[in-house]
Amino acid sequence: MSGTSKLTVVGAGAVGSSVAYAALIRESARDIALYDIAPEKTEAEVLDLAHGSFFAGSSQITGGSDIAVAADSDIVVITAGAKQRPGQTRLELAATNARIMGTLMPQLIDVAPDAVYVIVTNPCDVLTLLADESSGLPAGRVFASGTALDSSRLRWEIARRAGVSTSSVHAQIVGEHGDSEFPVWSTATIGTVPILEWRGEDGTGFDRAELERIAVDVRDAAYTVIRGKGATNYAIGLSSARIVEAVLRDEHAILPVAPVLRGEHGIDGVALSVPCVLGRHGARPIAGTPFDAEERAALQRSAESLRAVAAGLRG
Annotated catalytic residues are 177
Q: How far apart are CA 110 and CA 106, in angstroms?
A: 6
Q: Distance (Å, rounded) from C-alpha 120 to C-alpha 240?
A: 8
Q: What is the DSSP letter of 82?
A: P
Instruction: From 234, 303, 231, select the one nearest 267 (Cα to Cα).
Output: 303
Q: SS3 of 91, please?
A: helix
The answer to whether residues 244 and 29 touch, using CB atoms and an 8 Å cutoff, is yes
Sign of CA dihedral 194, 195, 199, 201: positive
Q: Computed over its alpha carbons, how large is the radius of gyration of the chain? A: 19
Residues with Cβ within 8 Å of residue 182, at least 6 apart in sequence: 173, 174, 175, 215, 295, 298, 302
Strands 274-279 and 268-271 turn out to be: unpaired
Burial code (b: 16+ CB inside 10 Å, e: under 16) for 152-162 equals: bbbbebbbebb
Q: Are 144 and 127 in contact (CB under 8 A)?
A: yes
